[in-house]
Amino acid sequence: MNREYHKWYSSRLHRDMELMVFGHAGTPTIVFPTSQGRFFEYEDRGMVGALGQKLENGHLQLFCVDSVDSTSWYDRFVHPRQRVERHMVYESYLLEEVFPLMRLKNGRRDVAVTGCSFGGYHAVNFALRYPDAVRYCYAMSGAYNIHQFLDGYFDNDCYFNSPLDFLPHMGDPWYLDRYRRNWFLLATGHHDFCWNDNERLAAIMRAKGMNHRLDVWGDGAFHDWPWWHRMAAQYLG
């Protein structure tokens, strides 16, 4: 299997950023780590292994990015306004620095995003904010409530980074047309503490006529890696 390590200094984020690439062809897929996770998490937690056959067969190519959660949403030492600003700079890093690498490595334009838990939030939020850049979104046990990071603060940028808040009121035809062209998969489990938020998000997507599917796994499925291994193997690629 093709495995690459990349590192460069981001002038936007003012720090070194690292990522891993797995696979040589197939759907180019950005992988967001869980809360405050790192670029190597997907491999260390066995997710790359669970997808090994698809990667080796050229059905899927993963771009496992680093997070800046510890200096954005989770940074309790700065004002919430600075937290959301840091997150938006992170998005610009993805668009202006990671996407060019993806285009260099993979000529396909049907980009996918995926993530588990808070990585699922990043995947859904990014796909909704940039529907012309992302075609497919696969969120597993997505945790979509960002109010917990805002200490009661809420401004326009917070609103437009909170899918459960902005999506119900989205009426812009440009966005809605692309939402309805793209594909969203929300997977959770009967014993997952994020189940309710996934049900809420799926109901909003249904009301908007979006192409989506909500899968609620039984058999005691809960919020942890063994279930995400199985979900990723079923959905990605």
Walking along the chain (237 residues) 10 residues at a time, the average pLDDT comes out as 97 98 98 98 98 97 98 98 98 98 95 98 98 98 96 98 98 98 97 95 98 95 95 96
Q: What pLDDT sits at residue 186? A: 98
pLDDT at 219: 86
The reported pLDDT for the residue numbered 218 is: 92
Q: How far is CA 12 from CA 83, 120, 129, in A?
A: 15, 24, 19
Q: Which domain holds residue 134?
A: 3-235
Supply the CATH number for residue 49's domain: 3.40.50.1820
Q: Name the domain count of the chain.
A: 1
DSSP label of 70: G
pTM confidence score? 0.97
| Spatial CA neighbour of 6 closest among 105, 96, 92 | 105
Cα–Cα separations (whole angstroms), residue 139 to 12, 16, 120: 27, 27, 4
Q: What is the pLDDT of residue 171?
A: 97
Residues near 119 by Cβ (< 8 Å), separated by ≥ 6? 31, 32, 33, 34, 35, 37, 67
